[in-house]
């Protein structure tokens, strides 16, 4: 029976299907953090190039092995915040940033009048032959409220 090209190919081919499917599935299920790790690696490598530093230099500054730095710059390392901060300091760059808190601050609109202070002033005044307690309040609208309380 005449064999086809695919039959002849199958007869000599070794099987490496499991190797790839395992890798492909791992990459897919870890894609979210791998994506972040890759972006960090890009920033580190570009900073190293711009600053003419080697991976060995960086390893010495942050006190890890050059092999570990190499793993980081390949974009396959699940980095700790501590390591990220050490690299940020060593290279003087920002690798990650946390978005600001979502607290809503409502600022009360103030009138255009300038003074925003308020204080009270109390003094005794003699009006005619009687003593009055003079109270004065200056508020932010800059209107002076005055009234007199009879003190006796």
CA distance 96 to 88: 9
Strand partners, 124: 133
Instruction: Give me the residue label for tokens 């499991």.
Output: 18
Instruction: Work out which of 33, 35, 54, 113 binds other proteins, going by CB under 8 A.
Output: 35
Is position 22 an interface residue for other proteins (rule: CB under 8 A)? Answer: no
CA distance 70 to 64: 11
Count the residues of the shown chain that bind other proteins, applying the rule CB under 8 A.
Answer: 36
CB closer to other proteins, 10 vs 130: 10
Residue 55: count other Cβ atoms within 10 Å of its Cβ.
Answer: 17
Instruction: From 20-28, 82-90, 103-111, 129-137, give the range in contact with other proteins by CB under 8 A.
Output: 20-28
Is position 56 an interface residue for other proteins (rule: CB under 8 A)? Answer: no
Instruction: Work out which of 36, 57, 61, 70 binds other proteins, going by CB under 8 A.
Output: 70
Contact 135, 120 (CB under 8 A): yes
* Residue 29 Cβ vs other proteins, minimum distance, rounded to whole Å: 11
Instruction: Work out which of 60, 64, 68, 75 binds other proteins, going by CB under 8 A.
Output: 75
Here the tokens at position 52 are 């003419």
CA distance 9 to 97: 52
* Residue 56 Cβ vs other proteins, minimum distance, rounded to whole Å: 14
**86 to 125: interface string for other proteins, x by CB under 8 A:** ----------------------------------------
* Residue 93 Cβ vs other proteins, minimum distance, rounded to whole Å: 13
Q: Is 140 helix (H, G, I), strand (E, B) or coil?
A: coil
Strand partners, 123: 134
């Amino acid at each position: 029976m005449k064999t086809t090209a695919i039959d002849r190919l199958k007869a000599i081919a070794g099987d490496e299907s499991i190797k790839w499917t395992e890798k492909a599935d791992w990459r897919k299920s870890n894609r979210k953090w791998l994506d972040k790790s890759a972006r960090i690696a890009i920033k580190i490598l570009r900073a190293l190039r711009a600053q003419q530093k080697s991976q060995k230099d960086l390893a010495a500054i942050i006190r890890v092995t050059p092999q570990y730095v190499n793993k980081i710059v390949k974009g396959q390392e699940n980095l700790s915040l501590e390591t990220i901060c050490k690299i940020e300091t060593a290279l003087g760059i920002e690798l990650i940033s946390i978005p600001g808190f979502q607290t809503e601050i409502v600022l009360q609109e103030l009138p255009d009048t300038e003074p925003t202070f308020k204080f009270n002033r109390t003094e005794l005044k003699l009006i005619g032959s009687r003593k009055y307690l003079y109270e004065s309040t200056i508020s932010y609208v800059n209107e002076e409220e005055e009234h007199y309380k009879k003190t006796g």
